[in-house]
Amino acid sequence: MSKVVENVNDENYEDFTQAPAAIVAYGIANCEPCKAYDPILADMAKSHTHVRFGKAQMHVPGKCRGIKKQHNFETYPTTHFFSNGHLLLTREGKVATEELTALIAEHFSTMS
């Protein structure tokens, strides 16, 4: 899989979430916790290559309209864990490296 955080939008969302192990972080441009989350996601993508990491930029006009209709976001960033199209877990707020590592081990350990 990829060693980078991929851009996720309406066009590739369904395909992206169909991966055996996928994490999508939803954020907006003026969100400081979202900006602080970016380097964590980038590091995790490099060290957990069996997981697809994606970022959906919810503020970009017309790019994530369908995603917004599928989910109710109360805060940003919000992180979803998917496996084969099934939403396994939702975390609101920036997830610390240690917690993200533990959640990946818990939900995607058989895929590494």
For residue range 1-57, list pLDDT tens digits in order. 568 999 999 999 999 999 999 999 999 999 999 999 999 999 999 999 999 999 999
pLDDT at 112 over 70: no
pLDDT of residue 5: 97
pLDDT of residue 109: 80
d(CA 38, CA 6): 11
- Enumerate the β-bridge partners of residue 90: 80
In the chain, domain spans: 5-111
Do the strands 22-27 and 5-8 form a parallel or antiparallel pair, or are they unpaired?
Answer: unpaired
* Fold type of domain 5-111: Glutaredoxin (3.40.30)
65-103 tens-digit pLDDT: 999 999 999 999 999 999 999 999 999 999 999 999 999
The residue among 57, 45, 63, 47 whose CA lies nearest residue 5 is 45
d(CA 21, CA 1): 10
